[in-house]
A and B are shown apart, each in its own frame.
Chain A
Amino acid sequence: KAGVTQTPRYLIKTRGQQVTLSCSPISGHRSVSWYQQTPGQGLQFLFEYFSETQRNKGNFPGRFSGRQFSNSRSEMNVSTLELGDSALYLCASSLDSGRAGEQFFGPGTRLTVL
């Protein structure tokens, strides 16, 4: 079974631009979550999508948004990029069969904002 895939793996943008990151969950997984990892703040939860609806949301500004498609693939968008948005963005998927299960993480997208 293929794991969680994220594209692109690396991205360089400049301040003020916007960026879209993509995540394909493991086949059959309906929940997709996004996390930001930085040296200073560590791993922080951004949001979770389930059945095309945002189910949980972390404490990030509105510049961070996401969506999920009917095939469970998800995208996250960051508008008006700031230097502090430079981070590793991780996507995780889980089966969500009604019981708490493990989240499987992708390799991440490394975003650098110049």
Chain B
Amino acid sequence: AQKVTQAQTEISVVEKEDVTLDCVYETRDTTYYLFWYKQPPSGELVFLIRRNSFDEQNEISGRYSWNFQKSTSSFNFTITASQVVDSAVYFCALSENQAGTALIFGKGTTLSVSS
């Protein structure tokens, strides 16, 4: 059965520290999509990245980077030089359909960045 596990429930760091959020997924499909979403205190989910199962290339976007490894079924997210504005709940999600919908979410990791 499909499943997404975010083992870290809460992480606290001080500004400028690097932090990695872990995500491990389970699926029997060979084609699937992985996502990261951010939910700030305001509550609205914000899309961060989408990854196809056949594209293991890592990606960097500013201070954000993602490491996708099919061999370990992991899709980890690193924030470099964290800032207070990064404080939020981060969700990893999996979709097994071609449209990338019907997301299966992990329980989320609450990141607190203090100044």
Residues on A lying within 8 angstroms of B by beta carbon are 31, 33, 35, 42-45, 48, 50, 55-56, 58, 88, 90, 92, 94, 96, 98-108
Contacts and interface: CB of A to CB of B under 8 A. Distances in A.
A102 B47 contact: yes
B50 interface: yes
Nearest to A58: B102
Bin chain B's interface residue count: 20 to 34
Given A105-B45, A106-B44, A108-B44, A100 B99 contact: yes
B105 A31 contact: no
A100 B47 contact: no
B95 A100 contact: yes
Interface string B37-60: 100001111110010100000000
- Chain A interface, >50% SS class: strand
Q: Taking each of A43, A90, A99, A104, which has the highest tally of chain B beta carbons within 10 Å of its own beta carbon?
A: A43
B96 to A, nearest CB: 10
B72 interface: no
Interface of B: 33, 35, 37, 42-47, 50, 52, 91, 93, 95, 97-108
B103 A102 contact: no
A104 B104 CA distance: 15
Nearest to B100: A100
B21 to A, nearest CB: 15
Given A96-B99, A101-B50, 13 more contacts: A33-B102, A42-B105, A42-B106, A44-B105, A45-B104, A58-B102, A94-B101, A100-B98, A101-B100, A103-B100, A105-B37, A105-B44, A107-B43
Closest 10 interchain pairs by CB?
A: A100-B100, A105-B45, A43-B105, A56-B102, A102-B47, A42-B107, A100-B33, A48-B101, A96-B99, A107-B44
Contacts of A90: 45
Contacts of B102: 33, 45, 48, 56, 58
Contacts of A96: 99, 101
